[in-house]
């Protein structure tokens, strides 16, 4: 059975998650050399999760000046 379009979530995983899976944590720890092959995957150290903040785009001054001159 299919789901109606109105019931689907458009941005289901677009927002930042506060918890990483074990595989994601291992990947980040490998990048910083805090975990090596053969180490136990249990009792892993904490890994900080960064949240991305999108800023609103500002209009360019040149476009505003061009519109005023043409009026």
Q: Is residue 44 part of a domain?
A: yes
Where b means 16+ CB within 10 Å and e means fewer, 18-27 reads eeeeeeebbe
Q: What is the pLDDT of residues 17-37, one digit of tens each?
A: 788 899 999 999 999 999 999
Q: Is residue 4 part of a domain?
A: no
For residue 33, what are the domain limits?
Answer: 17-54
Q: Is residue 49 part of a domain?
A: yes
pLDDT over 60 (residue 70): no
Q: Is residue 23 part of a domain?
A: yes
Q: Is residue 35 part of a domain?
A: yes
Q: Is residue 7 part of a domain?
A: no
CA distance 6 to 10: 9
pLDDT band at 55 (very low <50, low <70, confident <90, very high): confident
- pLDDT given for residue 41 in this prediction: 87
Q: Is residue 39 part of a domain?
A: yes
**What's the number of domains the chain is made of?**
1
Q: Is residue 29 part of a domain?
A: yes
């Amino acid at each position: 059975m299919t789901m109606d379009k109105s019931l689907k979530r458009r941005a289901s995983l677009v927002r930042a998650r506060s918890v990483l899976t074990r595989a994601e944590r291992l990947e980040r720890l490998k990048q910083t050399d805090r975990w090596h092959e053969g180490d136990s995957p249990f009792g892993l150290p904490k890994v900080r999760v960064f949240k991305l903040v999108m800023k609103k785009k500002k209009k360019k001054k040149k476009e505003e000046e061009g519109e005023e001159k043409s009026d």
